[in-house]
């Protein structure tokens, strides 16, 4: 059985201290997540622009937001929430 703490080290919170490889892995995950967020933001902006253009060309107000845009916004929100949670865990 592998112990999570190195030589019994614990953080002030009482949680086992993270190993160097776990810290590096977490940093890689955060970097990948930030890249994903940047891509999602660009996709949301593009989808919003297309929707606005369609609404303008149609000369009518399309009240319903396209499902694709709703899904993209939800994915972006989830990714940002996950990044925020990673930051909270890193502070512990």
Output the tens digit of pLDDT for each of the chain's 92 residues.
Answer: 444 444 455 555 566 666 888 888 888 999 999 999 999 999 999 999 998 888 877 766 666 889 999 999 999 999 999 999 988 877 76
In a domain, 60, yes or no: yes
State how many domains the chain has. Answer: 1
In a domain, 30, yes or no: yes
In a domain, 75, yes or no: yes
User: How many CB atoms neighbour CB 72 within 10 A?
Assistant: 19
Predicted pLDDT of residue 55:
82
In a domain, 73, yes or no: yes
In a domain, 3, yes or no: no
Nearest-angstrom CA–CA distance, 92 and 20: 15
Q: Which of 64, 35, 12 is nearest to 43 (CA)?
A: 35
Predicted pLDDT of residue 81:
96
In a domain, 76, yes or no: yes
In a domain, 26, yes or no: yes
In a domain, 25, yes or no: yes
Predicted pLDDT of residue 7:
47
User: Phi, psi at residue 39, to the nearest 5°?
Assistant: -65, -40
């Amino acid at each position: 059985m592998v112990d999570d703490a190195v030589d019994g080290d614990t953080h002030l919170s009482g949680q086992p201290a993270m190993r160097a490889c776990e810290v590096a892995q977490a940093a890689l995950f955060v970097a990948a997540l930030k890249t994903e967020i940047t891509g999602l933001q660009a996709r949301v902006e593009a989808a919003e622009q297309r929707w606005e253009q369609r609404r303008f060309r149609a000369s009518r107000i399309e009240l319903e937001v396209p499902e694709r845009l709703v899904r993209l916004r939800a994915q972006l929100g989830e990714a940002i929430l996950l990044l925020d949670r990673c930051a909270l865990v890193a502070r512990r």
